[in-house]
A and B are shown apart, each in its own frame.
Chain A
């Protein structure tokens, strides 16, 4: 299963952190710091895998992908296939891209709730629930519509593309 999904920037600031096994908040931060320390020391053009057992304990693997100023990090156990998880990161990023059009770090910062929603439609309790980014988008748009329809105060437009921040 997938144990955690994290997005952090190249300064080590957390942009998203979701743990699928309960951990106290201090422990979460410790793990994030540990991972960042390893990630920031890695060169370009190396593999997307790092040794996670020293940070996360036995039977854990880590796959990350570096996009511009962000690291996307997935931690999982040996029941998952490493390259398939790497694909999953790609699906996640492509979905964000569809949602925000040329997604950048600030989109993720300010649309924190939206990013959460996307992740929830893709990973469910540590298991992958959907791998098709168009299906994920469909589900997210449905939720947005609902939010818009039932929320008189906010100015959320009817379609998700309206969530674009610029």
Chain B
């Protein structure tokens, strides 16, 4: 094993190989470095051969993972040596050991330039290679023109020119200004006429880099690329050395098709036809053969052709041909082809409308989930995740669950996360969702992050119907002998809150529930114990009539943990013990947890983050980004008008759209294709993340700050500045210019009135859009979220939403994105501050364009007076002094109201209750009278108590006498008028409310029953 080149280097490598252990190796290397250092100190005595030998030794040491922190100066100085071997070593070592920011590099710029402009081709190659590997900005500025000259020079050999092309690419990456677009585009086109395939290959790489940043300037290169591709595909004039396993330069074919993918479309019909002929030939002419290398090469070309066909949005026929090919690939023996087949199917989901055809291969894809190769399993998982929608969610998620038990460890986390996200996004019903998550915790508890079980708790808390079901389910799981700690956590929480709903079922008495939970206490860690303690406290509170034995058992536990070393556990124990001894007060403090504010799923957010930040050059991703909204895009859930729907992976992500996309959209806005690609201009920051833990685990915690999107730009609309006039003037005026050809679904007025009484629901719907609303009040603040859901497969454009606020409301509305992508839902938060009592209503002026239809509607927003009320129960000893102190007008007003819609007294009580005015029973001795109280919140009045008395006449239910009292005259008046309006006529579809100041403008024509449950679910899932 001798080596003719450098004996010393061979000896050194042998020595290293003979080292028995790392320690010996290090000693040998330290010795060598010392030696090299010494020899270089006395540089004069070194021959070029020795220098070369030492530098290669350094490189070898560096490769082994040792820092070579000396010799930089020496290596750089070798570059200026006049003779080849030293220069060569200098260049090679410099490009291996130094990075572009190294100060020594600057010293060499002049020498490098001299080598490039000199006549010695070998020196030119060395210099170009070094610059191409590590050249930085300074190199770019001083060397770019010379490198360009080399590339274009007709006297240079191909060997030099191909390196110059790639060197220029490197310099362009470091500083794009070095390529002057105007002048360079023609030269680039010229370069593509090159016959030498080596130079052409390098030039094509350069072109790919240039067009990925700015395709506009390089249109003239497009037909040339098609020509090159045709030349290769037809094997015309391709020299033998560039034929690889019988295929004419597959690498160049691939690069050329990659370059073509950066042009949004091909307009010239003859170029397009030629290209499609070539593509067709590639698609049809590629067979799986025995030789692996030939197979790889031909399929490299084929997959790139597929990508190009997808990009060009070919005719439907060609598309289905592609899917058919992919369907074939995912079932072949060759693992690489299976892998790429799955990967390309996933890409296909993103860019075209072929989901239905892909779904036909679902069974095969599920089989791939069990492939022996983990890489293929991952691709199958990605594809299943991407193709999942409401129609197949159940099948896919159940497959994933089944696979979870046998999946390898490395995949379980991803698998369970994806299953959880799909279950949440596409749940046909919430009980199924609960089932899935509990199964996940059961099967893969270690991989279930806290967010997943927090989310279940949120859903259960916010959906009353779900509570008994969830409680029964978790009890089934916790009954098992060995359960995962996460299951203990979620069970303890849910059983603590809701096990009383099961009390009548066998085995579900408070005592039994307690003992099941308590069995687990010994096995759990300190983070779970506080949750168990909270559950005990709640169970105890719900035990009616009180059970002395249970009580003493639980108290004993609290007692025991009062001195626990863990501060959290100790605090719970001390507090619960103290609270329990307070008797009745326990009820209030330990009352059921309030509903959680709606927030975007942290899971989905997480999924988005992982898809977001990549500085991207790839054509497919670029397209995917073009289709993505900038706003918070969440899924919708409802199949609209019988059309099955799906959300592509791309649409789900919050991707930072690079600025270049905006320029791209200027080209042909009226074309359907560019509309498809979306025209986005603004990027919103991610909403601040919310600490879920504090909400769920803090039993007394007041709800945390809402997890709403705070967008960067707010339009502050102050109602004080003449906003009132705007409402009174313009809001009522029907739209004259455009006749709305689009009919709303459901009755707008009815929807509005329904929303006055509840916090969430649909405000408006037509065949294209659904506007949902969610309100959440706190004192004189109301946080409202509008959900704009596009029901179509095409984007809604020119979306505008303007809020016309009445004078008493201060509103801050975030900008609405101009475009709502297909099948996406956009959330627009709206912050409302109530300044003073008033019955005026805010109006949302909303318009969008679908196709040629301009739709404009004006919608009243349900931020009405009663949203600022908070029910309060006033005991007799406080009520009467208050009532008496408010002695007469204007603080106390009385009116006889006639024309009241007849209703029995309990119904009226319910009605008041729904306005958050609380009936105080027993205060009025007359059973025909109602006494009620509430608190009104506004900036001017702060929290103000309002008292109401209604005296009815059992003989004539159409009239009554109403007395209103509060500490503010305008409040008394407004509230009296408000209640009067509600009593006179309960709005129905046939008789819209007479009183409100801004009647609806659009024509109500009910087509579909309002309050689509799926839509509400969609809102909740946001």
Q: What string of 1s and 0s marks CB contacts (under 8 Å) between A98-112 and chain B?
A: 000000001001111
Complex: how many Å from CA A12 to CA B296?
A: 27
- A57: min CB distance to chain B, Å: 9
Considering only CB atoms, which chain B residue lies closest to A47 in the complex? B335
Instruction: Provide the residues of chain A in CB contact with B241, threshold 8 Å.
Output: 132-135
Task: Verify if B269 is at the interface (C-beta below 8 Å from A).
Answer: no
Q: What string of 1s and 0s marks CB contacts (under 8 Å) between A65-105 and chain B?
A: 00000000000011101111011101100000000000000
- The answer, among B92, B244, B339, B620, for a CB contact under 8 Å with A91, is B244
A8-63 CB contacts (< 8 Å) to partner B: 14, 16-18, 20, 22, 25-26, 28-29, 32, 42-43, 45-51, 58-59
Task: Verify if A130 is at the interface (C-beta below 8 Å from B).
Answer: yes
Are B5 and A87 in contact (CB-based, < 8 A)?
no
Considering only CB atoms, which chain B residue lies closest to A155 in the complex? B4
Interface centre among B3, B128, B244 (most CB of A within 10 A): B3
Summed over the interface, the residue pairs from A and B with CB atoms below 8 Å come to a total of 204
Instruction: Provide the residues of chain A in CB contact with B373, threshold 8 Å.
Output: 42-43, 46-47
Complex: how many Å from CA A18 to CA B208?
A: 23
Are B378 and A51 in contact (CB-based, < 8 A)?
yes
Interface centre among B252, B296, B336, B338 (most CB of A within 10 A): B296
Complex: how many Å from CA A128 to CA B374?
A: 29
Are B62 and A87 in contact (CB-based, < 8 A)?
no
Q: Which of B6-14, B185-193, B554-562, B922-930 contacts A (4 or more CB under 8 A)?
A: B6-14
A50-B375, A79-B618, A139-B159 given as contacts; is B4 within 8 A of A154 (CB)? yes
Are A125 and B166 in contact (CB-based, < 8 A)?
yes
Instruction: Provide the residues of chain A in CB contact with B336, threshold 8 Å.
Output: 47-49, 82-83, 86
Task: Verify if B85 is at the interface (C-beta below 8 Å from A).
Answer: yes
Are A46 and B375 in contact (CB-based, < 8 A)?
yes
Are B300 and A81 in contact (CB-based, < 8 A)?
yes
- The answer, among B13, B92, B163, for a CB contact under 8 Å with A109, is B13
A49-B336, A81-B300, A112-B56 given as contacts; is B293 within 8 A of A132 (CB)? no
Instruction: Provide the residues of chain B in CB contact with A157, threshold 8 Å.
Output: 4
Q: What string of 1s and 0s marks CB contacts (under 8 Å) between B612-623 and chain A?
A: 011111101100
Are A131 and B242 in contact (CB-based, < 8 A)?
yes
Instruction: Provide the residues of chain B in CB contact with A153, threshold 8 Å.
Output: 47, 49
Task: Verify if B412 is at the interface (C-beta below 8 Å from A).
Answer: no
Instruction: Provide the residues of chain A in CB contact with B56, threshold 8 Å.
Output: 112-113
A113-B9, A120-B129, A151-B85 given as contacts; is B99 within 8 A of A83 (CB)? no
- The answer, among B99, B251, B615, for a CB contact under 8 Å with A87, is B251
Task: Verify if B363 is at the interface (C-beta below 8 Å from A).
Answer: no
Task: Verify if B420 is at the interface (C-beta below 8 Å from A).
Answer: no
Task: Verify if B67 is at the interface (C-beta below 8 Å from A).
Answer: yes
Interface size on B, residues (CB 8 A): 86
- B783: min CB distance to chain A, Å: 34
A114-B5, A132-B198 given as contacts; is B85 within 8 A of A79 (CB)? no
Complex: how many Å from CA A20 to CA B258?
A: 21
Are B64 and A83 in contact (CB-based, < 8 A)?
no
Are B9 and A112 in contact (CB-based, < 8 A)?
yes
Task: Verify if B565 is at the interface (C-beta below 8 Å from A).
Answer: no
Are A84 and B67 in contact (CB-based, < 8 A)?
no
- The answer, among A25, A79, A84, A112, for a CB contact under 8 Å with B251, is A84
- The answer, among A127, A154, A155, for a CB contact under 8 Å with B166, is A127
Considering only CB atoms, which chain B residue lies closest to A57 in the complex? B614
Main secondary structure of the interface of A (DSSP, over half): mixed
Complex: how many Å from CA A14 to CA B163?
A: 28
Complex: how many Å from CA A126 to CA B584?
A: 74
- B274: min CB distance to chain A, Å: 22
Are B66 and A25 in contact (CB-based, < 8 A)?
yes
Task: Verify if B951 is at the interface (C-beta below 8 Å from A).
Answer: no
Are B3 and A165 in contact (CB-based, < 8 A)?
yes
B42-66 CB contacts (< 8 Å) to partner A: 47-49, 56, 59-60, 62-66
Are A14 and B65 in contact (CB-based, < 8 A)?
yes
Instruction: Provide the residues of chain B in CB contact with A147, threshold 8 Å.
Output: 84-85, 88
- B19: min CB distance to chain A, Å: 12
Considering only CB atoms, which chain B residue lies closest to A162 in the complex? B4
Complex: how many Å from CA A29 to CA B100?
A: 20
Task: Verify if B169 is at the interface (C-beta below 8 Å from A).
Answer: yes
- A144: min CB distance to chain B, Å: 9
Are B9 and A87 in contact (CB-based, < 8 A)?
no
Instruction: Provide the residues of chain B in CB contact with A166, threshold 8 Å.
Output: 1
Considering only CB atoms, which chain B residue lies closest to A20 in the complex? B133
Are B65 and A29 in contact (CB-based, < 8 A)?
yes
Are B13 and A84 in contact (CB-based, < 8 A)?
no
Instruction: Provide the residues of chain A in CB contact with B372, threshold 8 Å.
Output: 43, 46
Complex: how many Å from CA A22 to CA B136?
A: 11
Are A165 and B166 in contact (CB-based, < 8 A)?
no
Instruction: Provide the residues of chain B in CB contact with A26, threshold 8 Å.
Output: 65, 67
- B121: min CB distance to chain A, Å: 9
A47-B338, A150-B83 given as contacts; is B132 within 8 A of A125 (CB)? yes
Task: Verify if B340 is at the interface (C-beta below 8 Å from A).
Answer: yes
- The answer, among B92, B169, B198, for a CB contact under 8 Å with A130, is B198
Are A49 and B339 in contact (CB-based, < 8 A)?
yes
Complex: how many Å from CA A86 to CA B258?
A: 17
Are A127 and B169 in contact (CB-based, < 8 A)?
yes
Instruction: Provide the residues of chain A in CB contact with B122, threshold 8 Å.
Output: 142-143, 146
Instruction: Provide the residues of chain A in CB contact with B376, threshold 8 Å.
Output: 46-47
Complex: how many Å from CA A137 to CA B340?
A: 32
Instruction: Provide the residues of chain A in CB contact with B618, threshold 8 Å.
Output: 59, 77-79
- B143: min CB distance to chain A, Å: 13
Show 27 A/B contacts (Cβ-Cβ < 8 Å), sorted by A.
A20-B133, A26-B65, A42-B374, A49-B375, A59-B615, A81-B300, A82-B300, A82-B336, A83-B296, A83-B297, A84-B300, A86-B296, A87-B244, A87-B250, A87-B296, A90-B293, A112-B9, A113-B59, A124-B129, A124-B202, A129-B162, A130-B201, A131-B201, A143-B122, A154-B5, A154-B49, A156-B4
Apart from A78-B621, A112-B13, A129-B162, what are 6 other A-B pairs with CB-CB below 8 Å?
Answer: A81-B258, A84-B300, A112-B9, A127-B205, A132-B197, A150-B83
9 tightest A-B CB contacts, nearest first:
A83-B300, A125-B132, A22-B99, A46-B373, A47-B335, A78-B618, A29-B65, A84-B300, A59-B614
Q: Chain A: residues with CB nearer than 8 A to chain B?
A: 14, 16-18, 20, 22, 25-26, 28-29, 32, 42-43, 45-51, 58-59, 77-79, 81-84, 86-88, 90-91, 106, 109-114, 116, 120, 124-125, 127-135, 139, 142-143, 146-147, 150-151, 153-157, 162-163, 165-166
